[in-house]
Amino acid sequence: MYAARVRAEALALLHRGESLSAAARATGVARSTIREWRDGEPGTGPGTCPRCDDLPIDEEAYAALLGFYLGDGYIARAARYSFLRITCDLAHPGIIDDVVDLLGRIRPGGKVFTVKKSGCVDLQLNWQHLTCLFPQHGPGRKHTRRITLEPWQQKIVSTHPGPLLRGLFHSDGCRVNNWATRVVGGQKKRYDYGRWQFVNHSDDIRDLCTWALDLVGIPWRQSSWKTISVSRRDAVAALDALIGPKT
Ligand SMILES: [Zn+2]
């Protein structure tokens, strides 16, 4: 029997993308044993899929995760499964908790792996059916390919535009605080005003963002070729209430 520590070490190597042989060399465990550990691990087996098996999905969680995926996520294939990675800034632990929760709601029982990098962390979910749920995956950067939602995704987003906006703005967006002074009754007064900005190089993803903003009736403007701004005071307050701060 191997110690749990050795097993965890071998599986961690696989999740980092190492081959079975490399994990065997690094841990001194037989390749066949590591393969058994890998195949027996929950979260990597075929399981059930909302798309393939026509099962209900947590639509609110899905809409939010779609936003995070389109903002700071990518999907790639490993030998036997696909993995979804969402990169989160370590400065926003509340967002990390949010994404971990969303991944768990999309794939109940699936383990979420964390890969720490400098200043950020990749949250990773392994599952064969990720490409069913996120058909926008493909080679290359997202802004170099068309990103269009399938009709079933459009239906979910049009029912839950708020969670999609949370995913988009909490990954590729920021809440900027500006201030100005004005003289009122002979006294200089400071006024703070904030704005939300969503910055993305993909025309298609910006269009999705503005579509969702239109659905919830929040006015926006395009402030540069890659930036969508929500800056009217009432609009900022509405978006604050809808998506919450970046914590
Ligand atoms: Zn599937």
More confident residue, 35 or 96: 96
Tally of domains in the chain: 1
State the sign of the Cα–Cα–Cα–Cα dihedral 18, 19, 20, 21: negative
Q: Is residue 109 part of a domain?
A: no
User: How far, in Å, is the centroid of ligand 1 from the Cα of 50?
Assistant: 7
In a domain, 193, yes or no: yes
The CATH number for 186's domain is: 3.10.28
Asked whether residue 162 is assigned to any structural domain, the reply reads no
Q: How far is the CA of 52 from the centre of ligand 1 (A)?
A: 4
Give yes or no for residue 51 having a pLDDT over 90.
no
**Which one is predicted more confidently, 185 or 198?**
198
Beta-sheet pairing, 173-184 with 82-89: unpaired
**Which residue type does 162 have?**
G
**Domain coverage including residue 194:** 169-243
Please state the length of the chain: 247
Question: Does 197 reside within a domain?
Answer: yes
Of 37 and 56, which is predicted with more confidence? 56
- CA 136–ligand 1 middle distance (angstroms): 14
Residue 194 Cα to ligand 1 middle (Å): 42
Instruction: Give the confidence band of 109 by pLDDT, cuts at 50, 70, 90.
Output: confident
Average pLDDT over residues 128-135: 91
Mean pLDDT of 149-164: 96
Q: Which letter, b or e, does each residue of 5-35 get, where b requires 16 or more Cβ atoms within 10 Å of its Cβ?
A: ebbeebbebbbeeeebeebbeebebeeebbe
pLDDT of 40 reads 62
Instruction: Name which of 175, 172, 69, 59 is nearest 123 in CA terms.
Output: 69
DSSP H or E stretch at residue 57: none
Q: What is the mean pLDDT of the chain?
A: 89
pLDDT at 132 over 60: yes
How many helices (DSSP H) and strands (DSSP E) are in the chain? 10, 8
How many whole angstroms from 62 Cα to the centroid of ligand 1?
15
Identify which has the larger pLDDT, 68 or 35: 68
- pLDDT at residue number 78: 81
